Amino acid sequence: MEYTHLGRTGLLVSRLCLGTMNFGPQTDEPDSFAIMDAALDAGLTFFDTANVYGGWGDKPEAHAGWTEEIVGRWFALGGGRREKVVLATKVYNAMRDPLDGPNDAGGYSAYKIRRAVEASLRRLQTDHIELYQMHHIDPHAPWDEVWGAYEDLVSAGKVVYAGSSNFGARHICWAQEAARSRHFLGLVSEQHQYSLLKRQPELEVLPAALEEGLGVIPWSPLCGGLLGGHALDGNGGERSSSAIKNVSDAVRASIEGFHQLAAEAGVPPANLALAWTLANPAVTAPIIGPRTVAQLTALLAVPTITLGADTLAKLDELFPGPGTVGTGADPASRTASAPWAYSW
């Protein structure tokens, strides 16, 4: 496994990030434990979760916080598991329905942040979180309040770094300016949807992250399974099978061309798509969400894949970006926009 610094920090993380959103709703606890053990054995030490994960699906035991509980019980097995993991989780969403009170709704009041972090620590069975990420924007919470709460958590040793998720470029810049005025480190990462089929972040978010020293952690780098190995044959799981039915003819043609390119390169489609995200200098580690150990094992080679200029150019032709910031061999050749790529 390869490692890199998380943004401008001294923290080293693996170049793949293990996403845990499937743990509970789609992957049972024993299999989740096996995936985390296999990841750690392979040197994949960067794990991502969220306080709200586990609260979806049709299983009767589903509830927000379920995924963190599974990760916590895995940590409790010992053997250096917690010590070896760089743990990322998130705050924002309401955790129960109906709410216990109005302040249990989503947001970043100091009240909410304090209560949320204590609850996550209990579920995760740990005393600290390396990367505590804001899951969405809260336009009602002033940055002085947010950063004041984070400063208290950092001083108490409960949180090490602050990250964001689903922020726009302007939100990143506003957050960093407010942090600088307080002589606080501020954000060190942005978790954002980014893939060959979702390239809008190249316009502003990725450049802002580079400028402000944030590492980018792409979520859904396979675009809901559309860029996986079985999206076209109907064997890619319920999510990708449903998604491929709703894409436009132009997107389907691009995906077919992508699969052909992967076959010519001798690389599984999922690995090619993930290697493309890693080729962008703004990207720290894409999030992978394996449901089985076999799926995890198949992705471990991704950081060792080097894409040549010809391959990058062909990917640009198949999935034109919205601007000129990216990884292609000839950025000037990109189209100004490609609305079809986001129409599905």
Taking only the tens place, the pLDDT of each residue in 143-202 is 999 999 999 999 999 999 999 999 999 999 999 999 999 999 999 999 999 999 999 999
Q: Count other C-beta atoms under 10 Å from residue 70's C-beta.
A: 24
Taking each helix axis as running N to C, give the angle between helix 143-155 and helix 110-124, from 0 to 180 degrees, rounded to the nearest 10: 40
Beta-carbon contacts of residue 165 (< 8 Å; ≥ 6 apart): 90, 133, 134, 135, 136, 190, 191, 192, 219
For residue 42, give the amino acid letter. A
Helix (H) or strand (E) holding 130: strand 129-134
For the chain, domain boundaries: 3-234+270-306
DSSP 308: -
Supply φ then ψ for residue 337, to 5 degrees: -155, 160
| Residue type at position 133 | Q
Percent of the chain with pLDDT over 90: 79
**Structure confidence by residue, pLDDT tens digits, 152-162:** 999 999 999 99
CATH 3.20.20.100 fits 3-234+270-306, yes or no: yes
Catalytic positions are: 53
Instruction: Return the pLDDT at 237.
Output: 55
Average pLDDT over residues 314-343: 55
C-alpha 150/C-alpha 146 separation (Å) is 6
Task: For 219-253, write each residue's pLDDT tens digit.
Answer: 999 998 899 877 666 655 555 556 666 677 888 89
pLDDT digits (tens, 9 = 90+) for 115-145: 999 999 999 999 999 999 999 999 999 999 9
